[in-house]
Amino acid sequence: MARSLCPGAWLRKPYYLQARFSYVRMKYLFFSWLAVFVGSWIIYVQYSTYTELCRGKDCKKIICDKYKTGVIDGPACNSLCVTETLYFGKCLSTKPNNQMYLGIWDNLPGVVKCQMEQALHLDFGTELEPRKEIVLFDKPTRGTTVQKFKEMVYSLFKAKLGDQGNLSELVNLILTVADGDKDGQVSLGEAKSAWALLQLNEFLLMVILQDKEHTPKLMGFCGDLYVMESVEYTSLYGISLPWVIELFIPSGFRRSMDQLFTPSWPRKAKIAIGLLEFVEDVFHGPYGNFLMCDTSARNLGYNDKYDLKMVDMRKIVPETNLKELIKGSSL
């Protein structure tokens, strides 16, 4: 009789389980949809940022079109545009107008840098190298003699570096670097490439400090694209991780990882001494003083012997040139 009082009791538990299962399934579907939506949005944002910042194909096309029409020339041109033994790897660009890639040139690792746009204003947040040529690679013109080109370079250095007594030596050094094929003569294409590169502070500094151990070596150039030696460790402290992994690592654990992969104190001291030596090289250089307008750690790196190596020197500018730019912007 007791069993007949509740004839539907046996149905209640399955109904409860069925309702709970439906709730769990709906919850799972909702969070799955949310994860797909958020993931797709992140991928879209990252892809849009990548396509805006990383324009290596456009850079190569512009340079190679100029090379194939005989406008520019340089030691890297044939490898970039004909044999294709110089190619772009991982994109390191942080600004659309300053393209930067890890690259390989004849099985040698390097860093490829290319200028995409002209900067006609002084903006301390983006660009310290205003390029005044309206048409790229328009100087020197056909018929310009070597002596006239020397005078052009001398006048440029005088405006950038001030009235130094040894600028003629620097002019001769530039002509040696511009002679990419080492035939003892500077062609019009090589001169156009050299003139475009001399507008860039980093290139000028690499030439001036080419014998200093903390300055990356210039490997070659084509137009205003140039290749410099790569730095083995580009993170001064800690460890670099892909952005996808960074999203899921707590900040406390991230700091612990950085401390774990940071060089020991004796090695830190060696890197710090290297930085002091580099500051001495640029501030009391042979051709005038240079000032570091960005002392961020992302501009510094080191090799396997823990010798400091500069990763990015674009924000190191001649003191005289900076004073003129500030004076002109205040008018």
Summarised one tens digit per residue, pLDDT across range 20-46 is 556 667 777 777 777 776 767 666 555
Minimal CA–CA distance to 152: which of 202, 188, 120?
188
- Burial (CB count within 10 angstroms: exposed 0-12, middle 13-18, buried 19+), residue 235: middle
| Contact (CB, 8 A) for 291 and 317 | yes
3-state DSSP assignment of residue 297: helix
Position 228 scores a pLDDT of: 94
Q: Which range among 228-237, 238-247, 276-285 shows the weakest confidence by mean pLDDT? A: 238-247
Q: Which range among 27-36, 76-85, 266-275 shows the weakest confidence by mean pLDDT? A: 27-36
Q: How large a percentage of the chain has pLDDT more than 90?
A: 34
Position 173 scores a pLDDT of: 93
Question: For tokens 């002509």, what's the residue?
Answer: 175
pLDDT tens-digit map of 212-237:
889 999 999 999 999 999 988 877 77
pTM of the model: 0.76
pLDDT at position 276 over 70: yes
Q: Which range among 105-114, 141-150, 237-246, 285-294 shows the weakest confidence by mean pLDDT? A: 237-246
Position 133 scores a pLDDT of: 40
pLDDT at position 307 over 50: yes
The Cα–Cα gap between 70 and 98 comes to: 24
If you ran DSSP here, which 8-state letter would residue 226 be given? E
DSSP H helical ranges for the chain: 2-5, 9-53, 56-68, 77-81, 146-161, 167-178, 188-197, 201-208, 243-246, 251-260, 265-283, 319-329
Q: How large a percentage of the chain has pLDDT more than 70?
A: 78
More confident residue, 258 or 310: 310
3-state DSSP assignment of residue 108: strand
The Cα–Cα gap between 313 and 122 comes to: 17
Mean pLDDT of 208-214: 89
| Contact (CB, 8 A) for 224 and 197 | yes
Q: Are strands 308-310 and 316-318 parallel, antiparallel or unpaired?
A: unpaired
Phi and psi at 122, nearest 5°, equal -95, 115
pLDDT at position 211 over 60: yes
If you ran DSSP here, which 8-state letter would residue 77 be given? H
| Contact (CB, 8 A) for 51 and 93 | no
How many C-beta neighbours within 10 Å does residue 33 have?
10
Minimal CA–CA distance to 314: which of 293, 297, 329, 328?
293
Position 171 scores a pLDDT of: 93
Q: Which residues contact 113 (CB under 8 A, 6 or more apart)?
A: 98, 99, 100, 101, 202, 225, 226, 227, 228
Mean pLDDT of 38-57: 67
The Cα–Cα gap between 217 and 210 comes to: 6
Question: For tokens 């390097």, what's the residue?
Answer: 110
Report residue 137's pLDDT band, with 50, 70 and 90 as the boundaries.
confident
Report residue 14's pLDDT band, with 50, 70 and 90 as the boundaries.
low
Report residue 121's pLDDT band, with 50, 70 and 90 as the boundaries.
very low
Mean pLDDT of 145-172: 90
Structure-block tokens of residue 311: 């990763």
Question: For tokens 């545009």, what's the residue?
Answer: 81
Report residue 86's pLDDT band, with 50, 70 and 90 as the boundaries.
very high
Position 149 scores a pLDDT of: 94
| Contact (CB, 8 A) for 99 and 50 | no
The Cα–Cα gap between 12 and 32 comes to: 30
CB-hemisphere CA count at 13 Å for 319? 12
The overall average pLDDT reported for the chain is 80
pLDDT at position 2 over 70: no
Q: What residue ranges do the domains of the chain occupy?
A: 55-117+135-229, 243-329
3-state DSSP assignment of residue 19: helix
